[in-house]
Amino acid sequence: MSLGSMPELYAMLQWPAWLLAIPLPWLLRALLPVRRAAGPALRLPLGERLRDVVPAASVGGARGIGLLATLAWALLCVAAARPQELGPPVQPPSKGRDLMLALDLSGSMSEPDMELGGNVVTRVEAARAVLADFIDRRAGDRLSLLVFGRQAHVLTPFTLDRASVRDQLADSEVGLAGQETAIGDAIGLAVRRLRAQPAGQRVLVLLTDGVNTAGALDPEKAARIAADEGVRIHAVAFGGSGSMSLFGFRLPMPGAGDEIDESVLRRVAQTTGGRFFRARDTGELAGIYAEIDRLEPVARPGKAMRPRIERYPWPLGIAFALGLLALAMRAWRRT
């Protein structure tokens, strides 16, 4: 096994200065004067003979006790230095924002004036395709799907499960919430739901192809409420291309493009600190959601970190065991 493939283990000392205390007992013994008695306190007539009788093992036992005490002191100094080891890398969890998607499902979204993959499709079909791609790119965000027509409804509460949001989006059909367009009520409902989320990045992406024709709340008043609650609104006016494709030819559609109240949507976005966008075809709509991706980037995970694992209990425990062993040996010698 090569060194590059071996797991990396780093031993660190939090307070390495404690290692300087290891030779302290020897220094004290060498520097401090040893107080010796003037003479023997007690003379035994058989002292020389007793010295010969004392087994040599007792001397070796004293040295063993001294060695254990030395090792215990050294290990205590090592434990005081707090040896640590770097554990495996830990990736901090990514924290995205609370992003609500509001989709207009009023009757006008059934107009077949969009192209998708070379085929003529309705506005809602084009919007669903672009939104599904946008949802796929929002890993880390908590998403919620709101649809509105005459009324506004939250189909998906805030969730990290993008698949469930896509499924609800795929099942959204024109007329599900009525044939008219209640833009103000949709903003109001979104603000109520976003208000319950943690403060910070509260964003509403509103897509509509019409003017406010229903509901109790005026869109501009709803925008002021959103601004007070820290909700940023990106308003997308979609549709009204002015022409449609038939057998590869662009045919003009008189009056198309006049039904969107761009000035109101622009003021809604400006009031909340968001952006207003105008999409006349599927390509422009896809570019707008790519731009929203840039304006509202998903929070990326922080730099991976390696936690420090404390290893001082090992030398501390061994030092304690050696100390107990030395005491036991000393007590045994006295018996």
Q: Which pLDDT score, from 0 to 100, does residue 288 have?
A: 87
Whole-number Cα distances in Å, 216 to 137, 142, 154: 34, 28, 17
Q: Is residue 5 part of a domain?
A: no
Question: 178 and 132, same structural domain?
Answer: yes
* 205/283 same-domain check: yes
- Our CA angle for 140, 134, 168, nearest 5°, is 85
- Are 77 and 133 members of one domain? no
Query: At residue 135, what is the residue type?
Result: I
Of 100 and 7, the one with more pLDDT: 100
Most confidently modeled range among 5-14, 29-38, 54-63, 157-166: 157-166
Task: Check pLDDT > 60 for residue 256.
Answer: no
Position 132 in a domain:
yes
User: Is 27 inside a domain boundary?
Assistant: no
Q: Which helix (H) or strand (E) covers residue 158, if one does?
A: strand 152-159
Q: Do 217 and 121 share a structural domain?
A: yes
Tokens of 170: 């795929």
CATH code at position 146 = 3.40.50.410
Q: How many domains does the chain have?
A: 2
How far is Cα 149 from Cα 147, in angstroms, rounded to an integer?
7
Q: Which domain range does residue 180 map to?
A: 98-295
Based on the domain organization, do 112 and 178 belong to the same domain?
yes
CB 179 within 8 A of CB 151: no
Is residue 163 domain-shared with residue 248, that is, in the same domain? yes
Residue at token pair 């672009």: 130
Q: Is 154 a member of any domain? A: yes
Query: The pTM is what?
Result: 0.59
Contact 177, 151 (CB under 8 A): yes
φ and ψ of 287, to 5 deg: -65, -35
pLDDT of residue 326: 78
DSSP 38: S
pLDDT digits (tens, 9 = 90+) for 129-167: 999 998 988 887 889 999 999 999 999 999 989 999 999
User: What's the pLDDT band for 4 if we cut at 50, 70, 90?
Assistant: very low
Same domain, 320 and 236: no
Residues 317 and 275 in one domain: no
